Amino acid sequence: MALVVILTGAGISAESGIPTFRDQNGLWENHDVGEVATPKGWMENPKLVWRFYQERRRGMQGVEPNAAHRALVDLEKKLLNNGHGFYLITQNIDGLDIKAGIQYIVEMHGALRRFRCEKCDYEVENDYLEDDLLPCPECGWVHLRPDVVWFDEMPHNPEIFLSAVNQCTHFVSIGTSGEVYPAAHFIHDALRDGKEVYYQNTDPIHAHLLGMEIHEFQGKASEKVPELCSNILKSLGISEKEELITDNDAS
Ligand code: OAD
């Protein structure tokens, strides 16, 4: 049985119209990370941080998954139908994978669609898009925070993503600069452990990965991820034309 584990970064959503972080005109070129994406920034100026994330929530309106997200959904279904395993680990907070229909996913940097309280366990998913801070309706704490992971904070669900990376047979990196740990380490772990490794990015593979046994798919995610997925399916002997059993068929 194969276990295919995918790590995605902002590059997979770029063609849906969401800015990446470190490309030209990326979010970190236009904002100070320390001010808007750290616990210290939040403590010093919650209104500024809140406005930054509310702006990003508003920016998600009408945004749809692209062909790369859809290819991963198709890959997941075909792998599961054939008795294999699949896990998507995403650094993205845009929720586009879930919108596209992915089932096995860990959003390691949290999710833009959710707020949570730092004082009690309250969390909520809603469509609130205003710039005014919201108090916690459960315990009355002055403000909810975006349920996203900031620098100097622990990513969500480490037990799930570490075990997925450990146990996988195939590891795939898509649209990430590999600048942020722990995610940046996964590809090295996979190479060390002799997994089949795939790399997708518009940029050529990092110099420090040159010469390693990696299947490289350079180009736009919307074009190259479907190709990469076909490649994995073929290598496992799964027909691409296979009819999928959907929920609708069952009813
Ligand atoms: P980055 O902005 O660092 O990297 C985006 C990557 O996507 C780059 O390597 C680009 O070359 C590539 N890329 C751009 N357009 C693409 C396309 N159409 N198809 C394929 N690849 C494309 O974003 P991440 O690697 O996701 O964390 O950044 C990791 C983390 O750093 C984020 O989750 C965020 C950020 O700070 C936090 O905020 C905690």
DSSP state of 219: S
Q: Which of 53, 202, 209 has most ligand 1 atoms within 8 Å of its beta carbon, as the pocket-test mutant?
A: 202
User: What tens digit of pLDDT does each residue of 159-202 get?
Assistant: 999 999 999 999 999 999 999 999 999 999 999 999 999 999 99
Handedness of CA 14, 18, 22, 23 (dihedral sign): positive
pLDDT in tens, 143-157: 999 999 999 999 999
Give residue 87's identity as a one-letter amino acid code.
Y
Instruction: Give the list of residues 6+ apart from residue 58 with CB closer than 8 angstroms, or none.
Output: 129
Q: Which atom from ligand 1 is nearest to the alpha carbon of 176?
A: 25
Please tell me if the CB atom of residue 143 comes closer than 6 angstroms to any atom of ligand 1.
no
Q: For the chain, what are the domain ranges?
A: 3-18+62-109+153-246
Q: CB-based contacts of 36: which residues, under 8 Å, 6+ apart? A: 48, 49, 52
Is the distance from CB of 24 to CB of 30 less than 8 angstroms? Answer: no
Mean pLDDT of 132-145: 97
Ligand 1 closest atom vs CA 153: 39
In this prediction the pTM is 0.95
> Does the CB atom of residue 21 touch ligand 1 within 6 A?
yes
Nearest residue to 149 (alpha-carbon basis) of 37, 13, 51, 26? 37
Return the exposure string of 215-231: e unless at least 16 CB atoms fall within 10 Å of the residue's CB, then b: ebbeebbbebbbebbee
| Residue 187 · residue 209 · CB < 8 Å | yes
The CATH number of domain 3-18+62-109+153-246, selected from 3.40.50.1220, 3.30.465.10, 3.40.980.10, 3.30.1360.120: 3.40.50.1220
- Known catalytic residue: 109? yes
